[in-house]
């Protein structure tokens, strides 16, 4: 395994310095179109997991700041400064925002990489372009949403309008900070809502930066607020607020449950939840591209250091090809270049935090204690950098009831299981509380069709992992949550139907 110790070679120093310059100030919330400290004056420390050093201090907002932001969003919604503009004008502003994000893409990528420890090549090549594409997609969509005319007798006209909900609270995680934020912000804005966004405390920087670009692009004050802070303070206050119409959430199951409870205990605001999974990759012996499948299996779990809600963390292989296939996956995993996120060649950087690193290492230990065989990895690496790196890890001999077959690790840990019949494959694949994504690899189209019908998942991929984009809906079933991001369907999440009837 080519493990380089993260240092700052001269070639990467410019990137680090540029990123540090871009954050060379405290992170301030954006409320009612202005940068603001928290009312309490408190801040929290923002570290980079790249080497454990302090990046900056960020406003630790609480319920009072959330009140300010919600009030500003409400006024902006009621006086129609945004939703009252023509679709053409709103579309132009969102495209202008995308143009500015493109012009600032390098800064955004540097910030994202610094804030999260993810490889700069991923931030440049995926996170930021995908966030921009999301804004463009919904900018284009917003003037193509029509209402309906219902069938009626001659003396009546009944029609159906899509009306924006009002004030949307968006609470997002740290694994793809800007990308996940824009999956919520862009469709909510396209439908004419106002937004209060609470970024994850570990990754606030790109949301703050982009909301400033939004103001420059012409979004009116108060339409998109960003309130930084801790989940149990700012997040909790947002979820309990009596004047928030909806919470759109991506994150963990326990917090998802709290959000539903907070809704029930406050104003019955609607809630959408994207809560991760334990997604299976099912490989049949008749797969005609085992090397392609091995690459899909390895990158399906190790991308973004395994911190992906759709991570294909359960590798289910037909028993007759298991040893051969696991060797192929390990061969791919061994080529993954682990190291300093700011090295443009690095493919696998630091985990988000010391806590998340320790969680992954604990799961690897638990897996072995339950009889799992460590095929590769299993260790913290690059420790002398001060950062939090865990190498790609592969455990064989996992059984369906083991912790590593049931619980989401959210780290670079792949569990290998076997099956001997098609029915057993579908049954084991469905045997967790989750249902986000599932993949299967086979040359047999009939088998693939049976799998598509049998698998309980919001996303099913055949002969290619994660082969979809903004044009397809994204979300899960069972305890992976409900509600969809991406595609035109996401627009309807941020709107209500008004049925009108005119008699004459």
Contacts 24+ apart (CB under 8 A), 447-451: 447/284, 447/286, 447/422, 450/422, 450/426, 451/282, 451/422, 451/425, 451/426
Q: Which is nearer to Mg ion, 69 or 202 (CB)?
A: 202
CB-wise, 367 or 451, nearer to ligand NAP? Answer: 367
The catalytic position among 112, 201, 233, 274 is 274
Tell me: does residue 51 bind Mg ion (CB under 5 A). Answer: no
Spatial CA neighbour of 376 closest among 399, 392, 359: 392
**Token pair belonging to 344:** 């443009």
Among 115, 391, 408, 466, binds ligand NAP (CB under 6 A): 408
Check residue 198 for interaction with ligand NAP (CB under 6 A): yes
By CB under 6 A, tell whether 174 contacts ligand NAP.
yes
DSSP codes joined into one string, 289-351: -HHHHHHHHHHHHHGGGG--TT---EEEEEGGGHHHHHHHHHHHHHT--BS-TTSTT-SB---
Q: Could you say whether residue 434 binds ligand NAP (CB under 6 A)?
A: no
Selected from 258, 281, 304, 313, the binder of ligand NAP by CB under 6 A is: 258
| Residue 232 engages ligand NAP in binding (rule: CB under 6 A) | yes
Task: Tell whether the torsion through CA atoms of 445, 446, 449 and 455 is positive or negative.
Answer: negative
> Shortest approach of Mg ion to residue 290 CB, angstroms?
39
> Is 107 among the residues that bind ligand NAP (CB under 6 A)?
no
Contacts 24+ apart (CB under 8 A), 150-153: 150/499, 152/501
Q: Provide, rounded to whole angstroms, the least separation between the CB of residue 258 and ligand NAP.
A: 5
Of residues 298-317, those binding ligand NAP (CB under 6 A) = 309
Q: Which DSSP letter does residue 456 get?
A: -
Is residue 169 a contact point for ligand NAP (CB under 6 A)?
no
Helix (H, G, I), strand (E, B) or coil at 75: helix
Is 391 catalytic? The answer is no
Size of the site for ligand NAP (CB under 6 A): 26
Which of 21, 48, 16 lies closest to 385, judged by CA?
Answer: 48
**Segment interacting with ligand NAP, rule: CB under 6 A, options 60-68, 173-181, 278-286, 287-295:** 173-181
Centroid of chain to Cα 396:
28
Please choose which of ligand NAP, Mg ion, none residue 415 contacts, taking the beta carbon within 5 to 8 angstroms, the exact cut-off set by kind: none
Among the listed ranges 56-64, 195-203, 364-372, 401-409, the one in contact with Mg ion (CB under 5 A) is 195-203
Q: Which residues, numbered 66-125, are part of the site for Mg ion (CB under 5 A)?
A: 115
Q: How far is the CB of 216 from ligand NAP (least distance, A)?
A: 25
The span of 235-243, 282-290, 413-421, 455-463 binding ligand NAP (CB under 6 A) equals: 235-243
Residue 150 beta carbon to ligand NAP: minimum distance, rounded to whole angstroms: 38
Query: Is there a contact between 351 and 360 (Cβ–Cβ < 8 Å)?
Result: yes
**Catalytic choice (201, 233, 287, 309):** 309
Q: Least CB distance from residue 321 to ligand NAP, whole Å?
A: 30
Query: Quick check: is 309 catalytic?
Result: yes
Q: How far are the Cα atoms of 66, 483, 490 from residue 243, in angstroms, in the given order? A: 11, 21, 22
- Minimal distance in Å, beta carbon 120 to Mg ion? 15
Distance between CA 130 and CA 182 in Å, rounded?
9
Instruction: Determine which helix (DSSP H) or strand (DSSP E) holds 373, and give its type and residue range.
Output: strand 373-376
Closest residue to Mg ion using C-beta atoms:
115
Residues 1 and 369: their CA atoms lie apart, in Å, by 25
- For residue 383, the 8-state DSSP code is G
The yes or no reply on residue 251 touching ligand NAP (CB under 6 A) is yes
Minimum CB–partner distance for residue 144 and ligand NAP (Å): 29
Among the listed residues 164, 166, 163, the one whose alpha carbon sits nearest the alpha carbon of residue 75: 166
Distance CA 364, CA 262 (A): 34
Interacting residues with ligand NAP (CB under 6 A): 171-175, 198, 200-202, 230-232, 235-236, 239, 250-252, 255, 258, 274-276, 309, 408, 410
**Interacting residue ranges for Mg ion, rule: CB under 5 A:** 46, 115, 202
Q: Which residues are catalytic?
A: 274, 309
């Amino acid at each position: 395994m080519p493990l380089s110790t993260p240092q700052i070679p001269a070639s990467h120093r410019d990137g680090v310095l540029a990123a540090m310059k871009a954050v060379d100030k405290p992170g301030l919330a954006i409320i009612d179109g202005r940068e603001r400290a928290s009312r309490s004056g408190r801040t929290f420390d923002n570290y980079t997991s790249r080497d454990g050093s302090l990046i900056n201090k960020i406003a630790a907002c609480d319920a009072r700041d959330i009140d300010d932001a919600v009030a500003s969003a409400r006024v902006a919604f009621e006086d129609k400064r945004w939703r009252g503009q023509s679709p053409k004008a709103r579309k132009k502003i969102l495209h202008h925002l995308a143009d500015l994000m493109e012009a600032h893409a390098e800064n955004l990528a540097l910030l994202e990489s610094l804030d999260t420890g993810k490889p700069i090549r991923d931030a440049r090549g995926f996170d930021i372009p995908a966030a921009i594409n999301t804004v463009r997609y919904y900018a284009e969509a917003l003037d193509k949403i029509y209402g309906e005319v219902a069938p009626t007798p001659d003396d009546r006209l009944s029609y159906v309008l899509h009306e924006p909900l009002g004030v949307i609270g968006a609470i997002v995680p740290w694994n793809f900070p800007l990308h996940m934020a824009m999956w919520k912000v862009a469709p909510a804005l396209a439908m004419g809502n106002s937004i209060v966004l609470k970024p994850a405390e570990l990754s606030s920087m790109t949301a703050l930066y982009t909301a400033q670009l939004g103001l420059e692009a012409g979004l009116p004050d108060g339409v998109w607020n960003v309130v930084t802070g801790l989940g149990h303070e700012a997040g909790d206050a947002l979820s309990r607020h009596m004047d928030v119409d909806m919470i759109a959430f991506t994150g963990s199951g326990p917090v998802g449950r709290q959000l539903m409870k907070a809704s029930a205990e406050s104003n019955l605001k609607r809630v959408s939840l994207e809560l991760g999974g334990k997604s299976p990759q099912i490989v049949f012996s008749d797969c005609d591209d085992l090397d392609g499948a091995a690459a899909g299996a390895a990158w399906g779990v190790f991308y973004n250091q395994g911190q992906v809600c759709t991570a294909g963390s359960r590798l289910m292989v037909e028993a007759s090809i298991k040893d051969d296939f696991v060797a192929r996956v390990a061969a791919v995993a061994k080529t993954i270049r682990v190291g300093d996120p700011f090295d443009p060649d690095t493919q696998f950087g630091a985990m988000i935090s010391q806590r998340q690193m320790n969680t992954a290492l604990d799961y690897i230990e638990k897996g072995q204690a339950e009889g799992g065989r460590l095929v590769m990895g299993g260790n913290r690496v690059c420790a002398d950098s001060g950062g939090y790196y865990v190498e790609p890890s592969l455990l064989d001999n996992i059984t369906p009831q083991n912790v590593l077959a049931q619980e989401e690790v959210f780290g670079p840990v792949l569990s290998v299981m076997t099956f001997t019949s098609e029915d057993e494959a579908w049954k084991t694949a469905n045997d967790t509380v989750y249902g986000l994504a599932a993949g299967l690899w086979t040359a047999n189209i009939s088998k693939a069709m049976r799998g598509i019908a049998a698998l309980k998942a919001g996303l099913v991929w055949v002969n290619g992992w994660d082969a979809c984009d903004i044009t397809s809906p994204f979300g899960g079933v069972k305890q992976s949550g409900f509600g969809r991001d991406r595609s035109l369907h996401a627009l309807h999440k941020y709107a209500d139907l008004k049925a009108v009837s005119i008699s004459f």
